[in-house]
Structure 1
Amino acid sequence: MAEQPDILTGLPKVAELALDQSGLDQALRDAREPFVVRGLAAHWPLVQAALHGAAAVKDYLVSHARDRQFPVNIGQPGGGDRLFYDAAMDVNFQMAQGPLDAILGGIIANADKRDAPVIYLSSVDVEAYFNGLGAANALPLGDREPITSIWIGNRTRIAAHNDVPDNLAVCAAGKRRFIVFPPGQMTNLYPGPLDNTPAGRPVSMVDFRAPDLAAHPRFAQALDHALVADLEPGDAIHVPSLWWHHVEGQAAFNVLVNYWWRDVPAFLGQPEDALYHAILAIRDLPDAARACWREQFEHYVFSGGSEANAHLPDHARGVLGPLSAETAGQIKAKLLRGLSR
């Protein structure tokens, strides 16, 4: 594996918290920035299997796998470890399916090959694809109802991106490096397309291993705000909502388990849907019209809405009052009617 360029050396570390599992729930509630907990999942059978090598991890995972085809991303032999775009802005990997036993066997068989293709199972739903794996390898997350996913592969580099949910990620086998940036660094990371992405989220177009500061000069400013975390089996990192994170699997065989959740009522809409709708309805308006709509968004949305409803009696506020399942349903119905025209 090539060494990190000088521009990425010496980054400050993500803060480490000394807590046991009983303190995890409160730490997540209080967190406004990423944090690392060493050994949080050291007791997991999956992590214990990792102490005995890749073959033991494979056997453990296969013993819990459901009898179904697993989705896998496969790169080109000799194509490097970066899951990204090619020169034509198509993804540089293929998507396939196969039995877990064979896929993991392929990762292990390619471990010592310098030109090995990327083999990467990404965001596999633990409950849908495994029997009992989630229950046997769990963390006390309070009253959250997270989506639990597993990520398995050889050496990989996943371009910096952000996620809407909060994220708690556990290195279960191998080594993981996270480089994280606060949400305000978005423009300095040069995000790619919204609607053509390697895995569903816009990614930074900067190659962190060989950043081109002539093409991406503001990346140097992003690095002034970057933090790094190197994780061993059992270590966990919390990445708050919308924080950007570049993720590397640095061993020949890597497993990560993560939990995604949103601390908001289930009836609320998805912010990304509003972003797409705003692009459709507002972005290409004349400058003066767009400025007027910016003022309306500030008044009704980004201010929190208190000024918009303060002069109205409670019973007359409608959707300007605190949202409920009923008023959220009214908004969704209005949007559906409008979008269907």
Structure 2
Amino acid sequence: MTLPPPRPIDEVQLADPAALPAALGSWTTPKVVRGLAAGWPLVQAARHADTAAVDYLKRFDHGGMPVTATTAAPGTQGRVFYNDDLTGFNFRREQVPLRVVLDTLLKYRSEPDAPTIYVASTTLDTYLPGLREENPLVLGQADPLASIWIGNRSRIAAHYDAPDNLACVAAGRRRVMLFPPGQVGNLYVGPLDFTPAGQAISLVDFAAPDLQRFPRFALAMQEAQSAVLEPGDAVFIPSLWWHHMEGLEAFNVLVNYWWRPVEAWRDAPMNALMLALLAIRELPVEQRAAWQAMFQHYVFDADDQVAAHVPEHARGVLGELDEASAARLREVLRTRLLRGSNG
């Protein structure tokens, strides 16, 4: 079977990066913004030469703490993944000074079958203080987390992130392939609680999809979107959109920003899913349907009428939550979980 090609990710033009905050507020689907970070000194150095980009990054490396480097043998073809039986992984992690990673990447640039080297999701302000100030991007979002990703040719399996994500290519080129959240059933997602990097991933090898083992992947490809990003280009990935990231050059750098449109004290939705697996999934079908109606009423269809018939002072968790009431609710949940209540 020949898989359909992904359609291009929608592209938008922003003549001035200062227009980004207003644009982000209206986007609910993926967007590519060409040249959004073209003015960054890091991008300009990378366009000149990989060595220039490395020298620029080293200016901000205080050397006070090592980074976590993921390395995989040449035979993995850059795929950061599980081992054959999903009991472990095909890579190892080690603590290495950042400048050693950068020098090693330069060393292997000309080798066609180099080992995979990947520094993932490293907090920008902690490890490279001052770099964000020299390479600014105003998002208009509250306290976004800025991270840097550095490596050579790598393939990161399709996964999702709970926050919205704006990823800017600073060096090299990257291919990104995106799938809407509704394609979760067609991507053959692996374990939720044993993952390569914290998020569940698709088990499909996008370079050589096994359609006998994963036949519904053909359906996912009907909804796929893709783009190749050059230095200075950016892609907006909405919350829960699955994304497969591929570094196409021997030296790649990406800077991304994550943010959630809710207060930091609110809990992670994945915690609710995990608890639902524990408490609801194995119930009789009639009871699952009843709980589905409860969730629909109190969560997914909730509006200001759900508790309007209850006096405001008596609404408890049905009322408006704040940081203090959320902390009390979290303590109640902790107590219930420790007690093993099935009520």
What is the TM-score of this pair, normalised by structure 1? 0.95
Which range moved further: 284-293 or 39-48?
284-293
SS of the equivalent of 1:148 reads strand
How many angstroms apart in 2 are the aligned matches of 1:143 and 1:255?
23
1:23 aligns with 2:13: no
* Per-residue CA distance 1:216-249 (angstroms, 9 max, x = gap): 1111111111111110000011000001111100
Which range moved further: 318-327 or 165-174?
318-327
* Per-residue CA distance 1:101-129 (angstroms, 9 max, x = gap): 21111111111212211000000111111
- Among residues 60, 80, 91, which one is paired with 1:83 in the alignment? 80
How many angstroms apart in 1 are the aligned matches of 2:186 and 2:273?
20
CA-CA distance at 1:184 after TM superposition: 0.7
Contact in 1 for aligned 2:178/2:225 (Cα 8 Å): yes
| Structure 1: gaps of 5 or more residues | none
Matches within 5 A, 1:148-159: 148-159=146-157
How many angstroms apart in 2 are the aligned matches of 1:48 and 1:34?
26
How many angstroms apart in 1 are the aligned matches of 2:156 and 2:188?
15
CA-CA distance at 1:25 after TM superposition: 0.5
Which range moved further: 320-329 or 137-146?
320-329
Residue identity in the other structure for 2:58 = V
Contact in 2 for aligned 1:305/1:320 (Cα 8 Å): no
Contact in 1 for aligned 2:173/2:247 (Cα 8 Å): yes
Pair 8,196 (structure 1): closer, same or farther in 2 beyond 3 Å: farther
- Among residues 164, 172, 192, which one is paired with 2:162 in the alignment? 164
* Per-residue CA distance 1:229-279 (angstroms, 9 max, x = gap): 110000011000001111100011000000000011222111011111111
Contact in 2 for aligned 1:41/1:170 (Cα 8 Å): yes
* Per-residue CA distance 1:118-146 (angstroms, 9 max, x = gap): 00000011111112112111201114211
Residue identity in the other structure for 1:313 = P
SS of the equivalent of 2:147 reads strand
Q: Which residue in 2 is equivalent to 1:62?
A: 58
* Per-residue CA distance 1:288-330 (angstroms, 9 max, x = gap): 3322222221221111254531322333222112322233222
Residue identity in the other structure for 1:49 = A
Contact in 1 for aligned 2:8/2:226 (Cα 8 Å): yes
CA-CA distance at 1:78 after TM superposition: 2.8
How many angstroms apart in 2 are the aligned matches of 1:154 and 1:319?
48
Matches within 5 A, 1:296-315: 296-315=294-313
Q: Which residue in 2 is equivalent to 1:211?
A: 209
* Per-residue CA distance 1:160-205 (angstroms, 9 max, x = gap): 1100000000000000111011111111111110011111101111
Pair 21,279 (structure 1): closer, same or farther in 2 beyond 3 Å: same
Which range moved further: 147-156 or 311-320?
311-320
Q: How many residues in Structure 1 have an aligned counterpart in Structure 2?
A: 336
Residue identity in the other structure for 2:146 = T
Q: Which residue in 2 is equivalent to 1:252?
A: 250
Matches within 5 A, 1:208-287: 208-287=206-285
How many angstroms apart in 2 are the aligned matches of 1:6 and 1:63?
48
Contact in 2 for aligned 1:146/1:260 (Cα 8 Å): yes
CA-CA distance at 1:88 after TM superposition: 2.4
CA-CA distance at 1:282 after TM superposition: 1.7
Q: CA RMSD in A?
A: 1.5
1:116 aligns with 2:114: yes
How many angstroms apart in 2 are the aligned matches of 1:207 and 1:71?
25
Q: Which residue in 2 is equivalent to 1:316?
A: 314
SS of the equivalent of 1:213 reads coil
Residue identity in the other structure for 1:71 = T
Q: Which residue in 1 is equivalent to 2:105?
A: 107
Contact in 1 for aligned 2:141/2:259 (Cα 8 Å): no
| Structure 2: gaps of 5 or more residues | none
Pair 8,251 (structure 1): closer, same or farther in 2 beyond 3 Å: farther
How many angstroms apart in 2 are the aligned matches of 1:35 and 1:106?
34
How many angstroms apart in 1 are the aligned matches of 2:124 and 2:20?
21
Q: Which residue in 2 is equivalent to 1:337?
A: 335
